[in-house]
Amino acid sequence: MQDIFEAIIEARKVGIPSALATVTAVKGSSPGKEHFKMLVREDGRIIGSVGGGALESEVIEKAKEIMRSEKAEEFSFNLIEKGPNASGMLCGGTISVFIEPIVNCFAYIFGGGHIGLYLNQVLSMIGFSTIIIDDREEFSNKERFPGATETIAGEYLNIMPKLEIKKPSYIIITTRGHKFDEEVLEWAIKQDAKYVGMIGSKGKVATIFNRLKDKGITQQELDKVYSPIGLKIGAMSAEEIAVAIAAEIIQVKRQK
């Protein structure tokens, strides 16, 4: 059986929404003991145990709720047949289980210029795994982005088909030119991403959108794109723009 801590690392690396349940207190008779742990994946599969039986089924359902809310919470279960929060078991005790989400968000930053540089710093600081993609090697490397999960350099049209977009993912387009922005957006809009944002003035955005419509992209697809990018907080410098983009991403992440 896979070690539960190895499974947590794998879930974060691959991007498998999960939740960790830990028994924090036991009163009376219970099949679960303090510090028992169980990792619950999005599809209901588990590694480890908090005691088995009907209790475990209840914990799995609560874990799925925690994955959706992304907020840790402690639950108390009565191990009796009747009453509030009853588990259907007849042990006669109570058990408390702390459930915390294991969520790793992935930010794909296209463009390693000033905005990409500062955006990587902000998103890394708040727990995102960042992947930097730029067509110039000097703008996408570990020396420039030491905190990035991965750096990729090369032509966008060659790189994009090879990318494995993990979930939940956020795609930010801040390349060095309109041509590259358009190339990346045409690809990004077809991905199963929670957020796709592209930098640019209203005029630039309108021009790119119209050209994509000529290529068969629908208005419904374009309506999902956040552009001009970032919350409207009056940002001017590259650092401020990076903060505005990060704030918008947080807003999208926290929406129900």
DSSP assignments along 104-142, one per residue = --EEEEE--SHHHHHHHHHHHHTT-EEEEEESSGGGSST
What contacts 169, CB < 8 A, 6 or more positions away?
A: 15, 105, 106, 107, 108, 191, 192, 193, 194, 195
**Which residues in the chain show pLDDT less than 50?**
83-87
pLDDT digits (tens, 9 = 90+) for 48-85: 998 777 888 899 999 999 988 888 999 998 876 554 44
Q: SS3 for 39?
A: strand
CB 96 within 8 A of CB 76: yes
Taking the C-alpha atoms of residue 63 and residue 42, their distance in angstroms, rounded to an integer, is: 9
What contacts 123, CB < 8 A, 6 or more positions away?
A: 107, 109, 130, 246, 249
The pairing of beta strand 73-78 with beta strand 94-102: antiparallel
Task: List the structure tokens of 54.
Answer: 């009907």
Task: List the structure tokens of 14.
Answer: 């691959």
Taking the C-alpha atoms of residue 109 and residue 156, their distance in angstroms, rounded to an integer, is: 12
pLDDT score for 34: 87
CB 51 within 8 A of CB 9: no
- For the question of whether the overall pTM of this predicted structure is more than 0.85, the answer is no
pLDDT score for 66: 92
Taking CA 140 as the corner, what is the angle to CA 134 and CA 144, rounded to the nearest 5 degrees? 145
- Taking the alpha carbons of 52, 55, 61, 67 in that order, is the dihedral positive or negative? negative
Chain mean position to CA 144: 24
pLDDT score for 254: 83
pLDDT score for 91: 56
Tell the burial category of 169 from Cβ atoms under 10 Å away from its Cβ (0-12, 13-18, 19+): buried
pLDDT score for 190: 94
pLDDT score for 92: 62
230 HSE (CA, 13 A, CB side): 23
Chain mean position to CA 219: 26
pLDDT score for 238: 96
